[in-house]
């Protein structure tokens, strides 16, 4: 058992005279990351995710809180003695050393003999697909290759925890996907615990076992990708995850009424009056065809098609209902005959609707 436990870690930055905006602070974070787990911190830039990462690494001192790995209390341990590894946004390969020496650097610091560490570096380079590149210098490699070397360098010393700070954000999209694939397979192979920081939703969902969504110095929600996507705890999480169908209203007498009164339907009694914001995922909305039988537990709406846009194998259709523009994802077949200004009937399974606090 060597889970990473972060207990109420906290950091406050003093407000300086030059900055007009209020001081940034990271609210106490409590988090346990299991051994071998891939955990992502997802949030917009400036939300404090990199600060949290550096606090865990020990590169900046925390005001409060503790960090444990298994039974080792690491709060007061220097970063170089924590046996963590980190991959930064830039590859930060030492320019005066060859790729091989770069990869072997961590082992050199552990005083491992030259022959042994170069052999380890060689095999790690093969794992990241750079077998014959050992004797080159970093400036002879492309950006993607450099980041592969950085990954190899971080993994070679078998760290207890691998911290990654937006490692692929400087790469172009196709390369990013390739690196994602590589990281996934390497992580599974070496069973390394990863704490990954990103602002890219797709990246986080593709890679992670669990995701923590952060905003403005607070950890808003922790859960499996499916959980946080289907059951966001609040509007902030939902909108950061790209869920744009957010409808504000009131809950009373087991009924939901939207503020513009265009939505009104009965809801389950378990929903509290405070949960007055409705979030609808675009792919849960289905068009109703003429000869369809009404299904129990579904909510039906009437609307007018505003416009449709083709996107990666499906149509994104905007439907106007009252004051709201509902975004729906339809298959090409479904959307084929839809035209702007046409009336349309829609249905949603009431289980797919998510009510959160306003």
Partner 1 sequence: MRSPRRLLNSILFLLLFIVIGLPFVPLILSSVSFGWQWPNVLPDSFSFRAWEYVLADSSGTWSAVGTSLLVAFIVTAVNLLLAVPAANALVRNSFRGKWLMEAIIFAPIVIPPFVAVMGIHLTFLRLGLTETILGVVLAHISPTLPYMVRAIMISYNTLSVDWENQARMLGAGPISRFVHVVLPHLLPGIAAGASLSILISLSQYLITFIIGSGQVVTLPILLFPFISGGDPAIASAFSLLYAGIAVLTLLGMDLALKKYYQNKKAATAKG
Contact set with partner 1 (CB under 8 A): 57, 59, 78-81, 83-86, 88, 90, 92, 94, 96-98, 100-101, 105-106, 109-110, 114, 118, 135, 137, 153-154, 157, 163
**Cβ closest to partner 1, residue 89 vs residue 239:** 89
Rounded to the nearest whole angstrom, what is the least distance from the CB of residue 164 to partner 1 in the complex?
Answer: 11
Residues 181, 128 contacting (CB under 8 angstroms): no
Q: Residue 89 corresponds to which tokens in the numbers above? A: 């946004």
**Cβ closest to partner 1, residue 193 vs residue 221:** 193
**Cβ closest to partner 1, residue 109 vs residue 309:** 109
Cα separations in angstroms, 334 against 105, 309, 352: 57, 13, 20
DSSP 8-state secondary structure symbol assigned to residue 97: S
**Cβ closest to partner 1, residue 69 vs residue 251:** 69
Rounded to the nearest whole angstrom, what is the least distance from the CB of residue 302 to partner 1 in the complex?
Answer: 57
Distance CA 342, CA 281 (A): 22
**Cβ closest to partner 1, residue 85 vs residue 346:** 85
Q: What ranges in the chain are assigned the alpha helix state H?
A: 49-57, 99-109, 114-127, 143-155, 173-190, 201-207, 225-230, 235-240, 332-335
Rounded to the nearest whole angstrom, what is the least distance from the CB of residue 67 to partner 1 in the complex?
Answer: 15
Rounded to the nearest whole angstrom, what is the least distance from the CB of residue 137 to partner 1 in the complex?
Answer: 8
| Three-class DSSP category at 309 | strand
**Nearest to 337, CA basis, from 311, 308, 312:** 308
Per the document, the length of the chain is 358
Rounded to the nearest whole angstrom, what is the least distance from the CB of residue 316 to partner 1 in the complex?
Answer: 40
């Amino acid at each position: 058992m060597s889970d990473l436990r972060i207990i109420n870690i906290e950091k406050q930055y003093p407000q300086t005279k030059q900055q007009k905006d209020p001081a940034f602070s990271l609210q106490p974070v409590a988090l346990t990351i299991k051994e071998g787990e891939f955990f992502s911190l997802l949030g917009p830039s400036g939300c404090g995710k990199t600060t949290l990462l550096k606090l865990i690494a020990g590169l900046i001192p925390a005001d409060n809180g503790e960090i444990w790995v298994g039974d080792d209390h690491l709060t007061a341990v220097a970063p170089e003695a924590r046996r963590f590894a980190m991959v930064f946004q830039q590859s930060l390969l030492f320019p005066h050393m060859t790729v091989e020496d770069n990869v072997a650097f961590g082992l050199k610091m552990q005083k491992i003999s030259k022959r042994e560490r170069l052999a380890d570096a060689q095999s790690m380079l093969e794992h990241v697909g750079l077998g014959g590149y050992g004797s080159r210098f970093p400036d002879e490699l492309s950006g993607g290759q450099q980041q592969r070397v950085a990954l190899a360098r971080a993994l070679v010393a078998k760290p207890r925890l691998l911290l990654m700070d937006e490692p692929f954000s400087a790469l172009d999209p196709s390369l990013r996907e390739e690196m994602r694939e590589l990281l996934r397979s390497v992580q599974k192979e070496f069973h390394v615990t990863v704490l990954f920081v990103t602002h890219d939703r797709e990246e986080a969902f593709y890679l992670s076992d669990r995701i923590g969504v952060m905003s403005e110095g607070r950890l808003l929600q922790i859960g499996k990708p499916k959980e946080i996507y289907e059951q966001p705890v609040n509007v902030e999480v939902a909108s950061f995850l790209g869920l744009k169908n957010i409808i504000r209203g009131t809950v009373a007498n087991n009924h939901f009424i939207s503020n513009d009164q265009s939505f009104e339907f009965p809801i389950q009694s378990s929903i509290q009056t405070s949960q007055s914001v409705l979030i609808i995922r675009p792919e849960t909305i289905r068009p109703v065809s003429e000869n369809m039988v009404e299904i129990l537990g579904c909510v039906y709406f009437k609307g007018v098609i505003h416009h449709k846009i083709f996107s990666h194998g499906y149509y994104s259709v905007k439907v106007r209902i009252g004051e709201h523009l509902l975004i729906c994802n339809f298959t090409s077949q479904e959307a084929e005959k839809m035209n702007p200004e046409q009336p349309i009937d829609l249905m949603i399974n009431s289980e797919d609707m998510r009510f959160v606090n306003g």
